[in-house]
Structure 1
Amino acid sequence: MPITTNNNLVTIHTFKDQDYLIRLDISSNRLELKVSDKEIGEEWRCSYDQIYIETLTTKTGNYKTFEVFTKMFISGLLKSSRAITLNLLTYEELHQFQNSTASIKSYFRNNLSEASENKKYLILGYTTEFDKTYYPITLDHCGSPDVKSLIATIRRLESDLCRTREEYASFKMHCHAIKHKAIDDMQKKIKELKIENEKLTKQIGTKSSTKVSSKAELAKTTSLENALSKLEKSVITERSNHQKYINKLLLEKNKMQQEIDAMRRKESALKQQLSQSKKSSGISSLSERQSRQSSIPRNRSQKLPNPPTSMSYERNKVLSRSSSQTSRCSRTSSGCDSIKSRSSGCANIVNANRKSRSTIIHCSSSRASQSETSSIARSENIKLKLQSTQEDYKVLEKRITGLQKLLLSKSK
């Protein structure tokens, strides 16, 4: 697993089935590279500045800046780009490789004298769509690892081994404790299960001794189950009947509500009729009174004038006769008797006229009283109808409240 920071990289790379530990350090425009063989421990190093890297890229024919080159090198180590490849070659391999590559020939044309068998060459290849460029980096051989460094690594490894052994021992003890705890828990559970098994065996023994009673109990349980099933069926049927009854009650409630509404409309219509009848009775009574008041003088002027005229005529006749007779009164007493009889007849005529006038007044008053009694009877009939409708309305309200209570009790 590679270890990376901002400017450092440590990773393992495989060249020709052999693992190499590569360490790359980039600091202050300088590139430092260290390659070491994991099996043997041999090391190769190099250190180049920015100018050397940029001149190297110009000699190959594809110039790259120092920052771009380092990014390409890191991507080649991490294998994050298919366009970048890395190869680690010896001198002989490089000599064979440069015969086939023009960029390597141009670079090593003046550097063949510097070539050494102990050196290694890291070739950074950059492949584009139409071109391939190789950037060779020379690595100097540092020889076998130092004894002191080997001793230091051995001590470090021994300390790591001791630490890992201690960790393994602690882990083993922890696992052993967990194992013992689990074993103890399992033993406890086994004991509990054994006790429960003994109890169950005892219960089975007691039940085997009472098989007859168990048969009776089984028969009882079967009968109870049958009764329970019957009860469940009856409950289901009762629920359905109850639902039907509730629906019926709801329909009756709606019908009663409609009847109440009709009774209310009828009551309002009767109230309007009563008010209209009161108004008409008042108007008729007033008109009858006016007609009565107007009819009395007309009767006096039309029907009664005859008696007064006849009375005046008779009076005048009587007076004339009485005056004629008074003159004769002195002569004979028989004439006085006739005059008295005639005056009594006049008085009878006056009384008859008075009686006829009183009968006319009585008839007019009886007609008015009859119209008033008829209007009063109508109003009383309307009032009775209203009272009957109100009573019916109260009865319907009582029935509706009773139905609501019944519905609530059924729903509960």
Structure 2
Amino acid sequence: MEKSDTTKTIKTKQVENIRIEQMRIMHVDLDYLYDKNKVQQERNISALIQRIKKLQPNTIFLQAFADPDANGSANLVYFTNRHIPVLEDLFQPVVKQIKNQTSVQHVYAWLPLLAWELPNSEQLQYVEHSLGKNEGYIRLSPFSKKNQRIIEEIFTDFIQNNSVDGVLYHDDITLSDYEDSSEAALIMYKKWGFNGTDLLKNPSHPKQMAFAQAKTAYLDQFANHISKLMHQTKPKLLIARNMYAQVSLDKESEKWFSQSMKSTYRHYDYNAIMAMPYMEKATNHRQFYLDLIQQAKKYDPNLSRTIFELQTTNWLTQTPIPTEELANTIKLLKQYGVKHIGYYPDDFIQEHPDISKLKHAFAQNHL
């Protein structure tokens, strides 16, 4: 799939017809629920259902891939498909229980677009760092025709066998300023008129932003292509993508991530910003949130297509963020007009966040 400007804006009317005006999102890891002991697994699912009933989110982002080594890439999945080994066909049964036993309106499947780890026997091209470093997720190179076909088939298999209201693309739709130097990528860059070998080793190159914008467009158009394939089976499927906060706050960051606000609102129904100040090492959390709101409103004035996804864990210290702090953040976001709010992860084992302390702030229409 080559860079092109022919992709049209997503069907706004479709979103208007079926969207939830104020999404309240619980982002759930199936890895937390899965257990080899099926009795324990059922207990886990029941515990999740009870938490959902207590908190009453109207939307669930549900992990459909397995990440047992927690490296952010998927080498196993929870649904039947042609390419990735299945840990257990667990995704759809959990969706059914959520839909049948709770008031949840929408369930989105959380899936990577590129971050698939297939068996070595496949001999596939992966995203390569020009300096040979191992940075970011392990990702299939999006420039390989073979990889594109595999990704198409993974998503086709998924959408034909699983009933969901939306898909949340993982935060793996990204290439750094040093990526991708695989053979297929270098051939594509040459078609675009860039010397990829030079640009990928020189972040200060004067053509670096133009190069990054070309990569951004390519990635988002490939995502749009996969979305259209799924729309053939489910026309009203909603599409969200996770975006790094820095992309919202610093225009120069497109060079580092190959992501942009403008392109995101063009190609996806929702922009799910990872509004996570601990992850970004922000010193003033309140200002961090206010800056994100200000920047999002430049592209989405009513914030009707912007999701603020909050963190419940400080991954730098591996400690939980107090529920009181999460509740106060939600109140702040609502005060400044944020409509769609979620958090990740929900930890039913430690019962974090504390639903009794979060429920009032999390509810719709309450400041």
Q: Into which bin does the TM-score normalised by the smaller protein fall?
A: under 0.3
| TM-score (norm: length of structure 1) | 0.15
Higher relative contact order, chain-length normalized (CA < 8 Å, sep 6+): 2
Whose Rg is larger?
1
